[in-house]
Amino acid sequence: MDIDRYAAFLPAEHRHGDVPLEPTWMPWRGRRIHIGRARDASAPVRMIVVHGGGGYSGALWPLARLAAAEGLEVLSPDMPLYGDTEEPAPGAVRYDDWIDLLCDIVTTERRHDDRPLVLFGASMGGMMAYEAAARTRDVAAVLATCLLDLSDPAALTAASRLKLNGRLSAAALRLAGTTMGSVRVPIRWIADMSAMSGDPALSRLCAADPKGGGVKVPLGFLSSWLDYPHTAPEQYRGAPVTLVHPAADAWTPPERSIGFLQRISAPTRTVLLDNCGHYPIEEPGLTQLGEVVRETVTAVAEQTDRR
């Protein structure tokens, strides 16, 4: 099972194998969106776990189960092209679709359940969570392992496997997106999946997984990600944002995300996960992540009770 392969890399005390992923489905713009869930009617707070360009709900479920163990109801969607979501036109998928889908999931979930929602974004999912919070104004808190703003040339250089300077990388992606937008290439050609983890075996698993890092993405998706008009941090009016950046991340340096966070015009907090790589599986950072989740749940629940 996909989840077990990823869970095997976590310390034994963090595996929480007693929290299964329940597959559910959501129709959306001609697609069938897969959303993994761990339901808990008694949980005061719910969390949406948002994957990035090398993940999907099954790959992140070992971390999602940590959140469930902290007393949260958890759901984790597979974005178009990834996981078990059924995508009829893969060459036409754009980053805008991912943002629109996440916003619609937030709105739909809040319409049917008034418990507060926390968004947890992993890797590029961090900026997606930030953007959904800004656009919907219906999120209680944001946790992000990374806030990679590709309008920053240094951030683009860090994200890209093509170690050109940021402006040359941007020009190359824009040209490819314009002239060959529907052509799909393995995401590992663009992103350095070998830096996913300090454990080479986990990096290889992520890179080869046909539902995750082994996915082919259209060049138009990459150029639309580059040019997406994210909410300027100075104009952000959403929920508090906590950056839980892996301190030993060999892929996206913490400094890039911290610089963006410091510009956000809302309450923010930074927690560096000690000894953790981009996919945080190491101690003591993994325990620190659990503590941040617990603190966030407590704060959100108390704020809800005061209303």
Q: Are the C-beta atoms of residues 172 and 156 closer than 8 Å to each other? A: no
Number of domains present in the structure of the chain: 1
Q: Are the C-beta atoms of residues 50 and 102 closer than 8 Å to each other? A: yes
Provide DSSP, 106-124: HHHHHHH--S-EEEEE-TT
Query: For strand 31-38 and strand 22-28, is the pairing parallel, antiparallel, or unpaired?
Result: antiparallel
pLDDT cut 90: percent of the chain above it: 73
Residue 188, in any domain of the structure: no
In tens, the pLDDT along 102-157 reads 999 999 999 999 999 999 999 999 999 999 999 999 999 999 999 988 877 777 77
Kindly state the helix (H) or strand (E) to which residue 262 belongs, with its residue range: none
Residue 186, in any domain of the structure: no
Residue 211, in any domain of the structure: no
> pTM for the full model?
0.93
CATH number for 69: 3.40.50.1820
Q: Which domain holds residue 242?
A: 2-150+231-306
Residue 283, in any domain of the structure: yes
Q: Are the C-beta atoms of residues 124 and 52 closer than 8 Å to each other? A: yes
In 3-state terms, what secondary structure has residue 282? Answer: coil
Rounded Cα gap, residues 281 and 169, in angstroms: 30
> What per-residue confidence (pLDDT) applies to 166?
47
Residue 111, in any domain of the structure: yes
> What per-residue confidence (pLDDT) applies to 226?
85
Residue 213, in any domain of the structure: no
Q: 197 — phi, psi (to 5°)?
A: -150, 155
- Work out the burial of residue 260: count CB atoms within 10 Å of its CB; fewer than 13 is exposed, 13-18 middle, 19 or more buried: buried
Residue 37, in any domain of the structure: yes
